[in-house]
Amino acid sequence: MLIYYFGKFIAALRWSLFRIFFSKSGLLNYVYPSVEFVGFKKINIGFGNVIRRYCLFHSDVFKSGSLISIGNGNVFSNGATLKAYGNELIVGNQVFLGERVQIQAFGRVVVSDKVMIAANTFISSSNHDLQDPLSERYLQEENPGDVYIGESVWIGANSIITAGVSIGDKSVIGAGSVVTKNIPPFSIALGNPAVVIKYYDKVNKKWCRANGI
């Protein structure tokens, strides 16, 4: 029983210390218990963010260029994971990350303002080149490629965004999609691999079917 209450006390103390530590200009970030920060010197966080349980922010201090930069007013749901391995991972303002969203920055990753990413989405800025499949180790080291997600993009649950991809402003990615190529602004794309099925005609102010759909 004593161990139980001691654990509760440590969790509460940790939460309070994080809230105080992240206080800037009198505006607090709300960091829940069990959140983990690795490589804290290479993690910058703004104000007014909500970081829920079991989130992980990992900036590799042994790789030059690693940096996680978080803006203001974002929500990170339970289990969201952000990792920077030798490059920048930038999250803008008023971004929502659903439960268990994972973002890995081997190349530079930018998540712009007001983006919403639903649960279990995986964003990776690296691929593997293949060597001889008969050798003991035929996977080479990561081949990085930058990822850019424009403003007000919506990404459905269980989607995968691969290295080298750019998603234009105010586009929508359907749930379960695998995005392997650039998606233009004001588009709706879905599938594996994801293809554009609709685009927004700003002149006539209506959604139109893409060619061949």
Q: Is 129 helix (H, G, I), strand (E, B) or coil?
A: strand
Options 8, 24, 128, 209, the catalytic residue = 128
E-state strands within 18-108: 30-31, 36-38, 43-45, 50-51, 56-59, 67-70, 75-76, 81-84, 88-91, 96-97, 102-105
* 121 token code pair: 């989405």
- Residue 88's contacts (CB-CB under 8 Å, 6 or more residues apart) are 65, 67, 68, 69, 105, 108, 109, 110
Q: Residues 27, 33, 38, 40: what is their CA dihedral angle, to the nearest 10 degrees?
A: 20
* 145 token code pair: 């490629």
Is 128 annotated as catalytic? yes
Residue with tokens 């080479």: 140
4: part of which helix (H) or strand (E)? helix 2-21
127: part of which helix (H) or strand (E)? strand 126-130
State the catalytic residues. 128
